[in-house]
């Protein structure tokens, strides 16, 4: 049986399938964090190292949201 990645995230953010990367600032204004940029590098998801938000390409959402 294949192993599935387990992410401890506070929020899953869907992104368009053609996105090459995303930016994250924590979304909390003054309570957020410095803006950082992440590339997908051929993958379908990337996790913010500051706030644990998980950015997932739309076609892969079922792998990360409990399969719904």
Predicted confidence at residue 16, as pLDDT, reads: 98
Top pLDDT among 41 and 67 is at 41
Give the model's confidence band at 27: pLDDT under 50 very low, under 70 low, under 90 confident, else very high.
confident
pLDDT digits (tens, 9 = 90+) for 43-67: 999 999 999 999 999 999 988 876 5
How far, in Å, CA of 12 to CA of 52, rounded? Answer: 9
Assigned architecture for domain 12-64: Sandwich (2.60)
Residue 34 corresponds to which tokens in the numbers above?
A: 């410095």
Sort 28 into a burial class: Cβ within 10 Å, 0-12 / 13-18 / 19+: exposed
How far, in Å, CA of 45 to CA of 22, rounded? Answer: 10
Domain boundaries, the chain: 12-64
């Amino acid at each position: 049986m294949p192993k599935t990645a387990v992410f401890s995230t506070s929020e899953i953010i869907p992104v368009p399938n053609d996105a090459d990367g995303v930016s994250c600032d924590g979304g909390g204004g003054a309570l957020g964090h410095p803006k950082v940029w992440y590339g997908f590098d051929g993958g379908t998801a990337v996790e913010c190292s500051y706030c644990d938000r998980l950015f997932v390409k739309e076609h892969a959402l079922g792998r990360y949201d409990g399969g719904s």
